[in-house]
Every structure is written in C-alpha cells, then in structure tokens.
Structure 1
C-alpha cells in the first residue's frame, strides 16, 4: 500500500531529515540554550537600565562638581549654610514661617 501523501510538497518538506535537524536547532537556540533569544532580551533590558542609571549618576556628578567649585568662595559657603542648614551669625535671629500645607523639603 502506497502512502497517499508521498507526492504532496508539504510531506516532502516535513519528511526531510535536514529540515528536522534545522527545526530542532532553531528551537534549541530560541528556548533551551544558555545564549537563547529570551535570555538576550532580558540582558539587553538590564543593559539599557544600567545605561540610564549611568547617565543619571553622571549628571549628578557634574552637578556636584559645580557645587564644589562654587563652594570654594567663602561667601558662597555662607550662603549655602544659611539656605540649607538655617545657620546664622551670633548677632542674628532667624524666624522660619510655615504656612499650613507648606513643608520644608529636605534632601
């Protein structure tokens, strides 16, 4: 008894042993291998997140370097101390007025 599907093109395609090896290889590389496509996607997302963190921290470093250069001047040190830490001279009195709903933002 002859196989009725033998002359069909899809049967020839699916009965080819090289096609099965290729399909197995593709499935292995996409799902099972240590360097699979899905693992690469996760790693690429982590790389993107770390690069964003790098740019953020680089901007913060630049901002801090500007602040350090500015604090080389004694007048700027006094201004910074008065604004951030509410420091005063001995002969001064400082009054902090808070309105309801307002709060001091501390960094």
Structure 2
C-alpha cells in the first residue's frame, strides 16, 4: 500500500497519467473520434468500391451499345419504348397486391 501511495506522489507518474488521460478522452483526436473516423473511412471506401464497379458496368454496356446495332435497338425499345413506324407498342403494367 505504501508503494502505491509513493507512486501517486511521484510527479513524473502523475504527469504521465494526466497526459494519457488528456490524450485518451479530451484531445481533439481522442479514441472515440479515431474510432468514428475509422468507421467513416470504411464506409467511404465501400461506397468508392461500389461506384467503381457500377462505373465499370456502365462503361461495358456503353461499349456494347456503341459497337452492336442490334443491342442498341433492343436497349432503345426496352428502356425508352421506341418503335418502328409500322409497329404498335403495348405496355403491360402489373398492379401490386395490397
């Protein structure tokens, strides 16, 4: 017990303890902030990866559409309901069950 009391009387120990407490809890870059920054970084990296894959898919589709006229025609018919002059287009909309 006397050794513990002597330890708390030591000014170097107290200064180190105060420094550690300040750095862990009160500093601008404390542990809680570092954890939140790490979570935010992970989330942003996941979003970056998602958008990179989506960009690659869109670029691949664009290359296919620009090189193949049949795929371009199919895309225009499906997405934009385009038709030839002598055709009729019927759009079927399914109602959701409520």
TM-score, normalised on structure 1? 0.80
User: CA separation in 2, counterparts of 1:86 and 1:10?
Assistant: 82
* 2:82 counterpart residue number: 87
How many residues are treated as equivalent by the alignment? 96
* 1:47 counterpart residue number: 41
TM-aligned CA deviation for residue 18 of structure 1: 1.3
Alignment counterpart, residue 69 of structure 2, candidates 68, 74, 79: 74
Alignment counterpart, residue 59 of structure 2, candidates 65, 68, 73: 65
* 1:11 counterpart residue number: 5
RMSD: 1.6
TM-aligned CA deviation for residue 25 of structure 1: 0.5
Bigger helix fraction: 2
- Superposed structure 1 runs of 4+ greater than 6 Å apart: none
Segment of structure 1 superposing worse, 58-67 or 33-42: 33-42
TM-aligned CA deviation for residue 91 of structure 1: 0.3
- Where structure 1 has 5 or more consecutive residues not aligned to the other structure, the ranges are 1-6, 103-107
Cα deviation, 1:54-77, whole Å, max 9, x if unaligned, reads 000001111001111111121111
